[in-house]
Each structure stands twice: as C-alpha cells, then as structure tokens.
Amino acid sequence: MDKEYRHLPGVDKLTSNERLRQLGEELSRTSFVELIRNHLEQTRLDIAAGSPCPSLDNIVEAIIARGCALIKPGLRPLVNATGIILHTNLGRAPLSEETAAAMNTVASTYSNLEFDLNSGRRGSRNSHIEQSLCRLTGAEAALVVNNNTSAVLLALSALTRRKEVLVSRGQAVQIGGGFRIPDVMRQSGARLVEVGTTNCTYAVDYEQAISPRTAALMRIHLSNFKMIGFTHSVTLEELVALGKTHNLPVLDDLGSGCLLDTTQFGLDPEPTVQQSIATGADLVFFSADKLLGGPQAGIVAGRKELIEKLKKHPLARAVRIDKTGLAGLAATLVHYLKGEAITKIPVWRMIATPLDEIEQRAVIWAGPLKRLARVIAGETMVGGGSLPGATLPTWLVAIGEEGGKSKRNIAQVIGQRLRQREIPVIGRINENLLLLDPRSVLPGEDRIVLKALQDAAASLKER
C-alpha cells in the first residue's frame, strides 16, 4: 500500500501539468489548488480501501472533469419532446419572449422594486402587480409569493393558527413530491379536520363538523388524479353558502391557476380563478408557472381584509417573490389583459396548435432516420398537476420497431445520444419505441431537433 501512495503526484506537479493549464487559467489560484488537493485526498482514501493508484493521465482527466463540472452550469436549456407540456422535471412552463425580456431587464439593473417614484418614499413590491391580478380575476385584492405552497402556508398561518380547518377526506392529498395537505396544515399551526369519506362528502358532513374552534372551510383541487365511480363532492357554491351561514371564510386551492376556458381546446373543464372568485370564495390560491404560463410564483386573490392580514404576517417576508419573478409575472399578465395569451404564451400556443401543423412537423423530423422512424397518432398530456387524465391528440415520431432486441437498442441508443447533446432533446420510451412529440416543442426549436436526428442517423451509419 505504501508503494501505491508513492505513485501519487504532488500538488506542484499537477498545477504545472500542461493539460491542466487551461483549467488553472479559468479558476482562481485558490480554487484550482483546492480542487487538486481534494481529488488527491479522495484518491488516498481509495488507496486505503484497497484500490491501486491511478495513472497520472487518469488523475489529470479526473481533475479536468471535476473542474468542468464546477465551471459549467448544471442547469441547462433543453428541448422537451416528451409530449408533457407542463413537465415539472423539465421546469414547467416556458416563458414568452416578452416575459423573458422583462425578467432580463430587471435582473441586469436597479429597479423601483420597493420605491414609489411619485412620493420618493419606500413602496410595496406587490403594488406592481396587484391591480392586474384584480382586473383579471375579479378579486378585491391579491398578493404574490414565491410559490403556491407558500401561499397556502401563509394563509393558514395568518388566519387559522391553533384553530380547525375543515377539508373533505378525499382532498387531503399529496401533490408532487412534497406538497402534502396534512403536513402543510401541521406546519402552519392549524388543525386539519377531515370530513366525509374518501369517495363521498356532502354538505351535511361539513355542517356537523363545524365547532367554535373552526376557522375556515377549504376546498383543494385534485390536481394530479381523478376519482371515478361512486363519488360525490361538495360544490364550491354549497361550501360558500355554508361559510356565509356560519361566518367562516372559504379557502379555495386551485393549484394550476387557469384563466382561460379549457373546453375551447377540446379539454375537460378546468376551474378558473374568475369562476372561484365570482362564486364567492374568500381566498383563492394558484400557481403562476402552470396553466397561467408565467415564472414560478404563488398567488392569493380574494377579499381585501383577508389579503391585508396576509401582507402583515411575518411569514410574508420569508416567502416573498423576487424582482425577476415579479417582472416576469407582470409581463405574462399583460398577455391576458391584451387578449393575446393563446398566441404569445408558449403553454397555450402548444395547446392550441392545429393537428395538421403538428403532423407536418413530425414528418420532417422523421425524414433523416428513414425506415427507422415513422409518424404515428398519439396523445399529449398537459401535465403539471393540471387536468388529470385529459389529453390532446397529436402526431408522434416513433423511432425503432416494436419487439426485437436490436430495435429496442436503437431506440435506447438514439435516446441517449439526443440527451447528451449540447442542447439535449428529451423524448420518452414506450414499448421499445423512442417517441418525440412536436406539440410540446416550440416551433423555433425544430431546427435543433432536426439537426440532432440528422447527427444520430449519421452516427448509426458509421457503426
């Protein structure tokens, strides 16, 4: 083992290595030396565990790989050809050009984030967006925070701490990886009281559960699953009527934040924020980065007196939105105010894209792979915890053939090569086929997909 240690190069030898020179120029001297020392220390631990000492070339290559990982940003743009429009793992909603430009402008300079230009005194960041939200939703007031979970947590903390909140048992759900209604309730200090059963809840179940400790009635939209069969749920109208009878606020967590009628695109109806406000919900919670099509944010809209309590709560500062997100959301809302959301906001452009246009793009994509690819009918999911089970018709590029070991490898090989490009192209594997869906790809990205497929086809010929 001592012999193996003696083969380890010293720090000085590595800092003067010709192959490491460029890395040394890109990193500060301190970072460069620390990187080398950390790698050598790890190598010593490997030797102590019984591994032989790597060659000098292998050590140099490993240090270069570590250095590149430090310098090259881990978060990279990619092309979403999965057929899931709001793909949480891929960043959810892409932004409009105007939204991205607004965020870039505010990020690169100072702004009047919390400065009133008229009075010359401190202002409120919420003032830049509240009026637009109220006009679009019909609410008396609105507040923006960093995401929808924060919005719900803030409201529960400010309005229901140490009191009870009534929720249908079938709505005490988990959404995504960590948003669990019971956990959020517990964190806020509120006590969750489940009413009804998993599949059937009636207004009388709420009525019987109301006590002097009850602080609110809450509805939670089933964002990412459906219950079918023998079911019954309390309508928002019933819940609002019950809330008025007992002088209790009704909290409505919509999740996706839809402002448009989804049935015009052949989708199932998704409850809109405007409908919830008009029905009489006291506070409505929704995301900005799902069907709204903006940057990540959580929005609370509703009664002014309740919104004011949220604004004054200490947690409001901890979950406030940053200046770039605020600028982006404001720009996104302008598209709705101008009536141009379907043509400007990428999510809605994808949803509204005509089927014949998608087919034409798919045929062009399939061209370079010749007999290894064909165009087939398929379905696009909206995703992002919106419209559970609802799909849109689409045309897919199917690469490989069903059955057969060699064909299965072709789909896997091409899929991997597309993922490893400078701008990765992400599809999905299904029944030994690599499927690429043009509907979830912005038209301006078609050239990236086409070049990737051309290169993949050329590489297969070289094998």
pLDDT tens digit sequence for 115-150: 999 999 999 999 999 999 999 999 999 999 999 999
d(CA 354, CA 404): 34
The CATH number of whichever domain residue 111 belongs to comes to: 3.40.640.10
Residues 151 and 295 grouped into a single domain: yes
Last residue of a domain, one of 320, 344, 368: 344
Phi-psi category of residue 329: left, alpha or beta, with phi > 0 → left and psi -120 to 50 → alpha? alpha
Q: Find the farthest-apart pair of alpha carbons in the chain and give their distance in angstroms, rounded.
A: 84
Interior CA angle at 366 toward 363 and 370, to 5°?
A: 120
pLDDT at position 401: 66
Residues 408 and 430 grouped into a single domain: yes
Q: Which residues, other chains included, contact 377 with Cβ-Cβ below 8 Å and sequence gap of 6+? A: 393, 394, 395, 396
Domain range enclosing 144: 95-344
Of 177 and 440, the one with more pLDDT: 440
Residues 183 and 275 grouped into a single domain: yes
d(CA 253, CA 274): 13
Residues 338 and 394 grouped into a single domain: no
What does the pLDDT average to over 444-458? 94
Q: Are residues 324 and 162 in contact, defined by beta-carbon separation less than 8 angstroms?
A: no
Q: Which residues, other chains included, contact 403 with Cβ-Cβ below 8 Å and sequence gap of 6+? A: 432
Residues 340 and 419 grouped into a single domain: no
Residue 130 in tokens:
């509240």
Residues 276 and 129 grouped into a single domain: yes
Q: Are residues 403 and 107 in contact, defined by beta-carbon separation less than 8 angstroms?
A: no
Residues 18 and 115 grouped into a single domain: no
Residues 184 and 314 grouped into a single domain: yes
Residues 337 and 401 grouped into a single domain: no
pLDDT at position 241: 96
d(CA 441, CA 156): 38
Q: To which residue do tokens 């014949």 refer?
A: 356
Residues 320 and 266 grouped into a single domain: yes
pLDDT at position 408: 46
Residue 150 in tokens:
């924060």
Q: Which of 20-29, 99-108, 311-320, 431-440 has the lowest mean pLDDT?
A: 20-29
Residues 105 and 224 grouped into a single domain: yes
pLDDT at position 182: 81
Nearest to 429 by CA among 445, 448, 413: 413
What does the pLDDT average to over 439-445? 94
pLDDT at position 121: 95
Tens digits of residue pLDDT in 60-119:
999 998 988 888 878 899 999 999 999 989 999 999 999 999 999 999 999 999 999 999
Decide if pLDDT at 382 tops 80: yes
Q: Which of 172-176, 208-212, 295-299 has the lowest mean pLDDT?
A: 172-176
Q: Are residues 319 and 158 in contact, defined by beta-carbon separation less than 8 angstroms?
A: no
pLDDT at position 347: 96
pLDDT at position 287: 95
Residues 114 and 194 grouped into a single domain: yes
d(CA 54, CA 58): 6
The CATH number of whichever domain residue 439 belongs to comes to: 3.90.1150.180
pLDDT at position 180: 76
Q: Which residues, other chains included, contact 373 with Cβ-Cβ below 8 Å and sequence gap of 6+? A: 365, 366, 397, 398, 399, 453
Last residue of a domain, one of 293, 313, 344: 344
Tens digits of residue pLDDT in 203-258:
898 999 999 999 999 999 876 556 667 778 889 999 999 999 999 999 999 988 89
Last residue of a domain, one of 71, 105, 123: 71
Phi/psi for 266 (5° steps) reads 80, 15
Q: How many domains does the chain have?
A: 3
Q: From the centroid of its chain, how far is CA 426?
A: 16
pTM of the model: 0.88
